[in-house]
Amino acid sequence: MKVLQVDLGQRSYPIYIGTGLLDAGPVWSRHLPGRQVLVVSNETVAPLYLARVTEALSGSRFSVETLTLPDGEQYKTLDTASRILDTLMELRYDRDCTLVALGGGVIGDLTGFAAACYLRGVHFVQMPTTLLAQVDSSVGGKTGVNHPLGKNMIGAFHQPRCVVADIGTLDTLGERDFRAGLAEVIKYGLIANATFLGWLEENLDALLTREPEALAEAVQVSCRTKADIVARDERERGLRALLNFGHTFGHAIETGLGYGTLLHGEAVAVGMLMAAELSRRLGDLDAADCTRIRRLVERAGLPTAAPEKLDAQRFLSLMASDKKVRGGRLRLVLLASPGRAEVRDDFDPGELRALLETFPRAAAYTG
């Protein structure tokens, strides 16, 4: 087991990374301060792992209840979050209760958001079971739900008590979901770690066959990178925005197609290529850099073309609702070089429009 730390003063917490951790109640249950526990999962994950988590708490001081929600990005809504809140109210859980999010990024975001809202903030624990959630969404305290007009526009910063990343759960992850998670892993190499980017190029085949040592390394480096950024900028005043590389384009794709048509990581993969191409147009990357990035995304089995149904004007309209808009100006995370990102609002809007008009399109993403 590897233990990393998200250093946030009194709200610091550990990230446990290893195999068999769902069963290791003594390791993570000490982060549950009260006896009331609600384990929230979804219809895909619950049959696989819910019993293991509840059994890890059995025979102890805890009173454990469970809630199983529908699976899918389309259910990341206020209505679904209300189901969690309704359950907490019906159980009469108090301020010392703990919610456990057992599942992927949707369950983590929903459960964390409900924990932030209930009694103005109760405890929660992240138990991510997808690669994307283990390397990204479970760390950093961003919680929330989607709105028809914009992704993740309703939410709260609410840090977990701990993150339990059991790499063994990736054995049951579907191939498409696994590859979608690789998009976020690639992101860390592109924005902050050129050495890791090179490692990914050398070890991608091992990751695709899910070799345990390669997976453990990818999860550890990704979590360490994000933990360091979050520790320096918890509420995204500046540095943390770098974690959104590719996301402004990607969120526009998800919203425009309808949530769930493309997986989040798939949309981010396309968004990273669009951001890289804009970086080239602005003179920071060269054609060889863009080719290198595209080749890595292609090898990961991720989409590389934007959806045909979203024209340039629709893209611009959707991007105007992005959380990074300040004073009416769109800010984008772009690459100064492979391994170094920056937030910019000084780009020529004409270059952005030209990119959106000429970037390769695919009709397969019509929804």
Residue in 61, 120, 237, 326 annotated catalytic? 120
- To which residue do tokens 């611009």 refer? 316
76 in catalytic set: no
Residue in 73, 236, 254, 266 annotated catalytic? 236
324 in catalytic set: no
Residues linked to residue 142 through DSSP beta bridges, in sequence order: 157
184 in catalytic set: yes
Cα–Cα dist 294/296, whole Å: 5
123 in catalytic set: no
240 in catalytic set: yes
55 in catalytic set: no
In terms of C-beta density within 10 A (0-12 exposed, 13-18 middle, 19 or more buried), how is residue 329 classed? exposed
Residue in 76, 123, 142, 187 annotated catalytic? 142
- 366: helix, coil or strand? coil
Cα–Cα dist 167/21, whole Å: 8
357 in catalytic set: no
Residue in 42, 146, 193, 244 annotated catalytic? 244
Residue in 76, 161, 224, 264 annotated catalytic? 264
Residue in 161, 187, 224, 226 annotated catalytic? 226
Cα–Cα dist 231/4, whole Å: 12
Cα–Cα dist 268/252, whole Å: 10
Residue in 123, 151, 179, 251 annotated catalytic? 251
Q: How is the beta sheet containing 63-69 ordered, strand by strand?
A: 2-6, 13-18, 163-166, 123-128, 98-103, 36-42, 63-69
- Cα angle 129, 50, 6 (rounded to 5 degrees) comes to 45
Cα–Cα dist 312/334, whole Å: 19
Residue in 240, 280, 281, 323 annotated catalytic? 240
Residue in 247, 280, 323, 331 annotated catalytic? 247
226 in catalytic set: yes
Residues assigned a catalytic role: 120, 142, 184, 226, 236, 240, 244, 247, 251, 264
